[in-house]
Structure 1
């Protein structure tokens, strides 16, 4: 019963609150939406420039699919208070990750979520970078795939959110978000090769957008 209430709240939050705001204030254009769908245990890897990233990606899914999707986010930001932690975990769909080194294995919650059959959205750069600038990818995603070698990872490149709500800002600025969804990548047991493949996919997806220098 409690889970049903959480699901209803999540549907309401994304369907009535998040999506209208995104469409009316920001607007976004997503390519290859057919590649973005829950497939059971699956990873979706996106570049990271804004706290909006998590909610924008979640809002791309059909409302009926939202209970099957979770998104990795910083525990120190999304769980600052007990109320915010409850809302983030049960309504937004956050998997809180400890970035302060307090957990023995900070990625274990991601491994557990995949074990339970969730589609999990992750940000391989770790923390948010400068607006529209991609930081080097970290190897945490490869540790997740080592625990679940049969899980594929779908790359997603986003542009615009870093200027709509950049790091350190609280005021939302109208700025169209471009989203490009790539083909799934298969893990073959080589950490460096996986990171190279993911970085190359991000670069290709960005090139397809034809982003102008001033955007």
Structure 2
């Protein structure tokens, strides 16, 4: 049985980014011209390496059940049990969708170090959210930042449960952010996305077993209804994800 440490995905990103950045510093000391282009080039190298890595350790399979892999603006809202959830959803998408899909992630995690910031901002192009409600500026409003990304033509990966679900409940009650985003962007597809088996890859703990296969099932898209109340939409979205889980387990 193969074993990997819990933080292996983050460490793989940081180590690969570090090697690439070191090579750049040696080849181009003090050079600033074309820095953004070079940074994007190196970020693409790390992204491709990470896609290969995640596919090797999880042997993922995408199941499109009610939606198709087409280039539309979408919010893939998913269950959240593992540190590697968004990496798997992002990595299993076809390249033409992956290029326009951005995870929504916590800035306090992804800005801890320069290399982690490079991974979050440049490799994943994450929409980084300040979770400290009491100490964030108005321009850091999470819903506004997510809506701006969608208005720019990007898609998002969102975990409406908030923190990782470490309970026996399949899906925890949703936070209200997904409702406010749907209300602000009613034309965008909200696609329920169920990850199966990934908790066996990177659960909480130091050492974990790697399963033979992971599946990511993309369900039928939802849209907010005219005048739909918050609790009604949150309940409907959660039920769609729960139904997708039951459908996946029945395969």
1:28: Cα distance to partner?
A: 2.0
- Contact 1:131–1:166 (Cα < 8 Å) also in 2: no
1:171: Cα distance to partner?
A: 3.9
Aligned to 1:59: 91
Aligned to 1:29: 61
RMSD: 2.4
Aligned to 1:196: 235
Whole-angstrom distance in 1 between the partners of 2:167 and 2:80: 9
- Contact 1:11–1:66 (Cα < 8 Å) also in 2: no
1:131: Cα distance to partner?
A: 6.8
Compare CA radii of gyration and give the structure with the larger one: 2
1:170: Cα distance to partner?
A: 4.8
Whole-angstrom distance in 1 between the partners of 2:216 and 2:97: 19
State the aligned residue count: 209
For the residue of structure 2 that corresponds to 1:195, the secondary structure is helix
Whole-angstrom distance in 2 between the partners of 1:93 and 1:4: 15
- Contact 1:152–1:187 (Cα < 8 Å) also in 2: no
- Contact 2:69–2:97 (Cα < 8 Å) also in 1: no
TM-score of the aligned structures, taking structure 1 as reference length: 0.85
**Pairing 1:186–2:223 present:** yes
Whole-angstrom distance in 2 between the partners of 1:180 and 1:209: 7
**Pairing 1:208–2:247 present:** yes
Q: 1:18 aligns with which of 41, 50, 58?
A: 50
- Deviating more after overlay: 148-157 vs 171-180: 171-180
1:61: Cα distance to partner?
A: 2.0
**Pairing 1:74–2:106 present:** yes
**Pairing 1:38–2:71 present:** yes
1:164: Cα distance to partner?
A: 1.2
TM-score of the aligned structures, taking structure 2 as reference length: 0.74
- Deviating more after overlay: 130-139 vs 110-119: 130-139
Pairs within 5 Å for 1:1-215: 4-5=37-38, 7-15=40-48, 17-32=49-64, 35-39=68-72, 41-101=73-133, 102-103=135-136, 104=138, 105-130=141-166, 133-167=170-204, 169-171=205-207, 173-175=209-211, 176-188=213-225, 189-190=227-228, 191-210=230-249
For the residue of structure 1 that corresponds to 2:191, the secondary structure is strand
For the residue of structure 2 that corresponds to 1:155, the secondary structure is strand
- Deviating more after overlay: 82-91 vs 170-179: 170-179
1:54: Cα distance to partner?
A: 1.0
